[in-house]
């Protein structure tokens, strides 16, 4: 990719992210936008953002696809995989050739290769010395991220950290934990709402997620509020279906 | 698990009860004998502020036990007189749209929690909700295959299956969730296995015999 188009893409991404950081933004939605932009800009095929919960486990909160296989691979990176290393070191870990990673992370390696992924890059989400989670990017081609790409990935990951903190930045320590928890809990609500849609419409889990997000955007609502509305039936499933399924 | 409550709030003691693998409320831990008794009484009587918080998903705050009518839990209210409990609070443990249990907080002098204290208690309760479920599952480990170590309470299929059961049984998320757990318990399988069957449409709660 040429530097000029990279720059244009990056500034467009930052504008889009700044747009998302409005008064009523939703952390999970922001992280989705972020990982989609990042995967595109760094020319990778799939990506996901993992956040740390109160018990110290990493959970997938946003990903470029809701397909179960990708979710599983992402979760594996957090069990014994590059994500753990990025998390522990606080720096980007780039694995240019998963096949050559040997016996370091056997379960992750097998699963990633089975789905055609050849390389993976894991960037920590940092906030003033604290690591909140990590962003994974997968490519179907062999090759490490170059130093310029690493800077880009880190810059976008830092936006995610800022987004997590954004709401009220005063009571820092408490707020970061609170925002992390809020993001993780929103993700649970979204999964429950996906289940409702999956059962009552012909949509797949992935399409169900897309329709929640589209509806939220079209109505200026947060993903969390739409998900709750679907579960407690204050928003009709039919309204959501009518709103259309994206891509 | 009780430490965040005991250190951050002006309370005497605390306890936690959650839906166990059988889908019933059961005690998880308590900080002292009075807290344990409060938990046990509500389990035995099937009534009380913790039970209500779990059912409704809303906090119950009794700032002054002596002055309160206890109309919604008359027998528990009488039993309370025997205990050194002047104020009692129930904070629900919430996972998305599901209430999995409640934290009970008591103190031996009357007085309400401030808004700030209540929000601290709510945040602490949310932070431990998934951990509490994991403990409850582990405690019931002999009834099913061991849960995956990858944070079973966050396993997506469990939440997706909960949403599907909401539709199948035309019920609330909390009831759907406890039915999922109860079915796993009754069939001696792990919750994740049963959730997987629901998501892959091999199991439908609508056509399940009661």
pLDDT tens-digit map of B65-92: 999 989 999 999 999 989 999 999 999 9
Per-residue pLDDT, averaged over A168-176, amounts to 52
Q: In whole angstroms, what is the distance from residue A234 CA to residue B60 CA?
A: 24
Q: In whole angstroms, what is the distance from residue A193 CA to residue B23 CA?
A: 21
Side-chain half-sphere exposure of A71, counting CA atoms within 13 A: 17
Flag the least confident range among A51-55, A121-125, B59-63.
Answer: A51-55
Residue B24: its pLDDT value, please? 66
Question: How would DSSP label each residue in B128-162?
Answer: HHHHHHHHHHHHTGGGSSPPPSS-GGG-HHHHHHH
Closest CA to A213 of A14, A36, A9: A36
Q: What is the CA radius of gyration of chain A?
A: 18
Q: Is B172 on the interface with A (CB under 8 A)?
A: yes
Per-residue pLDDT, averaged over A153-158, amounts to 87
pLDDT digits (tens, 9 = 90+) for A52-65: 877 778 888 899 98
Six token digits for residue A138: 């997968």
Q: Do B97 and A228 touch (CB under 8 A)?
A: yes
Nearest-CA residue of chain B relative to A185? B96
Q: Is B202 on the interface with A (CB under 8 A)?
A: no
Q: Do B154 and A188 touch (CB under 8 A)?
A: yes
Nearest-CA residue of chain B relative to A237? B167
pLDDT digits (tens, 9 = 90+) for A127-150: 877 888 899 999 999 998 888 888
Q: What percent of chain B clears pLDDT 90, i.e. is strictly above it?
A: 48
Angstrom CA distances, A235 to A28, A98, A119, B63, stand at 20, 44, 42, 36
Per-residue pLDDT, averaged over A194-214, amounts to 93
Q: What is the CA radius of gyration of chain B?
A: 18
Closest CA to B32 of B66, B6, B63, B62: B6
The more confident residue out of B127 and A154 is A154
Q: Is B131 on the interface with A (CB under 8 A)?
A: yes
Residue A4: its pLDDT value, please? 63
Residue among B126, B159, B199 minimizing CB distance to A192: B159
pTM summary value: 0.73
Residue B206, phi then psi, degrees to nearest 5: -70, -35
Residue A22: its pLDDT value, please? 64
Per-residue pLDDT, averaged over B40-49, amounts to 89
Residue among A57, A184, A231 minimizing CB distance to B97: A231
Q: Is A191 on the interface with B (CB under 8 A)?
A: yes
Per-residue pLDDT, averaged over B183-193, amounts to 83
- pLDDT for residue B23 is more than 60: no
Q: Do A198 and B172 touch (CB under 8 A)?
A: no
ipTM over 0.85: no
The more confident residue out of A88 and A3 is A88
Residue A171: its pLDDT value, please? 44
């Amino acid at each position: 990719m040429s530097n000029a188009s990279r720059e244009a893409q990056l500034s467009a991404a930052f504008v889009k992210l700044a747009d998302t950081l409005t008064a009523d933004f939703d952390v999970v939605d922001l992280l989705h936008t972020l990982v989609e932009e990042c995967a595109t800009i760094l020319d990778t095929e799939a990506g996901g953002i993992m956040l740390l919960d109160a018990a110290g486990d990493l959970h997938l909160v946003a990903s470029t696809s809701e397909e179960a296989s990708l979710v599983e691979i992402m979760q594996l990176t957090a069990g014994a995989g590059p994500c753990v290393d990025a998390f522990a070191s606080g720096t980007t870990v780039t694995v240019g050739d998963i096949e050559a990673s040997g016996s370091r992370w056997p379960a992750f390696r097998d699963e990633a290769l089975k789905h055609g992924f050849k390389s993976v890059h894991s960037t920590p989400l940092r906030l003033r010395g604290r690591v909140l989670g990590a962003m994974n990017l997968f490519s179907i081609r062999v090759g490490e991220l170059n130093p310029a790409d690493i800077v880009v990935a880190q810059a976008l990951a830092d936006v995610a950290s800022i987004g997590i903190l954004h709401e009220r930045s005063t009571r820092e320590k408490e707020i970061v934990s609170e925002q992390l928890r809020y993001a993780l809990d929103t993700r649970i609500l979204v999964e429950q709402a996906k289940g409702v849609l999956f059962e009552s419409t012909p949509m797949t889990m992935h399409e169900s997620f897309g329709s929640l997000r589209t509806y939220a955007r079209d109505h200026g609502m947060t993903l969390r509020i739409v998900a709750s509305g679907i579960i407690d039936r204050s928003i009709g499933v039919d309204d959501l279906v009518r709103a259309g399924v994206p891509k | 698990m009780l430490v965040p409550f005991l250190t951050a709030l002006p309370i005497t003691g605390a306890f936690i009860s959650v839906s166990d693998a059988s889908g019933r409320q059961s005690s998880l831990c308590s900080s002292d004998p009075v807290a344990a008794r409060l938990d046990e009484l509500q389990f035995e009587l099937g009534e009380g502020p913790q039970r209500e918080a779990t059912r409704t998903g809303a906090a119950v705050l009794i700032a002054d036990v002596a002055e309160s009518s206890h109309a919604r839990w008359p027998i528990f209210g009488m039993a309370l007189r025997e205990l050194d409990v002047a104020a009692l609070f129930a904070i629900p443990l919430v996972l998305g749209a599901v209430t999995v249990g409640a934290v009970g907080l008591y103190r031996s002098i009357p007085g309400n929690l401030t808004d700030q204290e209540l929000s601290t208690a709510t945040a602490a309760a949310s932070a431990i909700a998934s951990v509490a479920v994991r403990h409850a599952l582990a405690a019931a480990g002999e009834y099913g295959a061991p849960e995956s170590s990858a944070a079973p309470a966050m396993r997506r299929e469990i939440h997706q299956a909960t949403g599907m059961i909401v539709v199948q049984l035309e019920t609330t998320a909390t009831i759907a969730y406890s039915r999922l757990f109860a079915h796993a318990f009754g069939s001696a399988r792990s919750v994740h296995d049963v959730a997987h069957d629901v998501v892959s449409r091999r199991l439908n709660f609508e056509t399940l015999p009661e």
